[in-house]
Structure 1
């Protein structure tokens, strides 16, 4: 999967810009063009902000419209990105942010949407919360999310991309873009599969539990070795681990232990005997992440999961 065009929604705030340095660690000017956009609702377009002009008496004030502020941000960022070699386009739109982002993404055939995920915007709206949530759940392209609270890694070259899998086609939808990012940067892909040997509330003798755990673990290892071979054929180095317990806890623990540069995950579907609820997963991952997330929408017919191994789980959104 090639990332030829990336959409970056902005809102006039510095917080919204913070996704850019995170994103630039994974893309290059020769492969990707950038599309910056800001969406102003009809009410915000008509409102003006009054700002004191430095060096002038406080009684003299300059009325700066939010549209002017948004245009200045788009211009300034475009100039900075042009200086490091990126081809950049920009759009200033009228409309609700989430709807505008999704519509522009479809109209311009973008391959990736990159957004910051925390903070109230300078234009008076929260960019993350309802907006990012709607974009993640509805966008066709993958969504690169960078929580504003995390710092950009000191190393300019990413080293590790964490890729949780559960053996289903849904989760495997994340493999192509993880592979592409690894090829772009030389990063290692860290594969993880989390197993849950037993149904909740189902009790077995200790010796049977142990045998069941071994069987599930062996299946998981065989599966990850197959994925590892596929990555090797694409000249991508990888390693794997099979963890036991809660998928979210295992992902967060591995992310911290490996100091991951990026987590790539599928965003839809079922996992084993339970469906992991979008809201709780988002809160736990974003609330504990030390790196950006790349969320890939996987669409698989429901019947695919009817015969899946219900003892294996992975995290999914929406």
Structure 2
């Protein structure tokens, strides 16, 4: 958010948060042997977190496994299909049976995983896709796998990306939900869903805003006047941001417990990742695109950075777009008043 975009006073009382449709259908996507020999932690984590969200919002849940094949056009050999379908069914039953209160439909399809997941979600009006992050370790964090990245970029539905973790026998209970806001209607669209999940779990909600960095262009070192101007811009940004967060909190229900946190000026992406670790958050809920998002971009730079580096579940909230806009109508669809994510 640039300095000129920050409100100089509290937003008008007539402004309302953009409404996010209630989740009705949650699709949990899991891997199974022999294609993923280490899939068990991902499978159980995906099932546990999908169930935690579905139960919180009263949504139906479907568990999907894709029998991977090179192309969607070439049908799988019938014998191979029967054998792999049998193994996958037994694997799903085994892991689903470990969750005593889990009630879900099952579906097994064949083809390229990302394409099959997105197609099924679209055809069956799934509002949320839950899948493991996958990928390989790159030092301190694990990057997204190809399937997870493709789904996050292309899916019309919201996406919950879950890292591999031991979930135990008890249902998942979120204790702290982190919700980044940048002052846009897009970012505020996550509030109804994030608050509903937090309330159902009795979790604390932390609303976070990263104050924009005030940079001045100068060929040499900044003189005293430039330094004073930069500091004045930062103080103004910080004051306006705190006023915005206070206004947001004043319009929220009494439960769940809500706290606000204003982050210092700097790189918003790094600040949010560090804050999630400092707060020991169990879940981050954020818009797939914020104030600077464009209609032809399904994933903003901040969201893209975070889903590649967070070691906690990240829920990307996206308004369902069953009929994506054509380029001719791109400017119309990115109006904040329409709740475009």
Q: TM-score range by the shorter chain?
A: 0.7 to 0.9
Match of 1:38 in 2: 65
Match 1:250 to one of 271, 288, 295: 271
**1:152/1:218 Cα in 2 relative to 1: closer, same or farther (>3 Å)?**
farther
Match of 2:92 in 1: 74
Match of 1:296 in 2: 317
Match of 1:186 in 2: 202
Match of 2:110 in 1: 94
Q: Supply the distance in 2 between the matched residues of 1:156 and 1:270 (Cα, whole angstroms).
A: 32
Higher strand share: 1
Q: Is the 8 A contact 1:45 1:65 kept in 2?
A: no
Match of 1:239 in 2: 259
Q: Is the 8 A contact 2:174 2:202 kept in 1?
A: yes
Alignment of 1:216-295 (within 5 A): 216-232=237-253, 235-243=255-263, 244-271=265-292, 284-286=305-307, 288-295=309-316
Residues 246-281 of structure 1 show CA distances to partners (whole Å, capped at 9, x for unaligned) of 111111111111100101111125539xxx996975
Q: Supply the distance in 1 between the matched residues of 2:135 and 2:318 (Cα, whole angstroms).
A: 25
Residues 128-153 of structure 1 show CA distances to partners (whole Å, capped at 9, x for unaligned) of 522111211222221111111x4549
In structure 1, stretches of 5+ residues that fail to align are 50-63, 121-126, 308-316
Give the TM-score taking structure 1 as reference length: 0.75
Match of 1:314 in 2: none
Match of 1:61 in 2: none
Q: Supply the distance in 1 between the matched residues of 2:153 and 2:97 (Cα, whole angstroms).
A: 32
Root-mean-square deviation over aligned CA pairs: 3.7
SS of 1:94's equivalent in the other structure is strand
Match of 1:173 in 2: 189
Match of 2:152 in 1: 136
Shift of 1:194: 0.9
- Aligned pair count reads 281
Give the TM-score taking structure 2 as reference length: 0.70
Shift of 1:8: 0.7
Q: Is the 8 A contact 1:26 1:184 kept in 2?
A: no
SS of 1:205's equivalent in the other structure is helix
Q: Is the 8 A contact 1:192 1:242 kept in 2?
A: yes
Q: Is the 8 A contact 1:189 1:239 kept in 2?
A: yes
Matched, 1:20 2:56: no
In structure 2, stretches of 5+ residues that fail to align are 1-20, 33-38, 137-142
SS of 2:281's equivalent in the other structure is coil
Q: Is the 8 A contact 1:112 1:142 kept in 2?
A: yes
Match of 2:36 in 1: none
Q: Supply the distance in 2 between the matched residues of 1:291 and 1:118 (Cα, whole angstroms).
A: 13
Q: Supply the distance in 1 between the matched residues of 2:49 and 2:31 (Cα, whole angstroms).
A: 18
Match of 1:54 in 2: none
SS of 1:198's equivalent in the other structure is coil
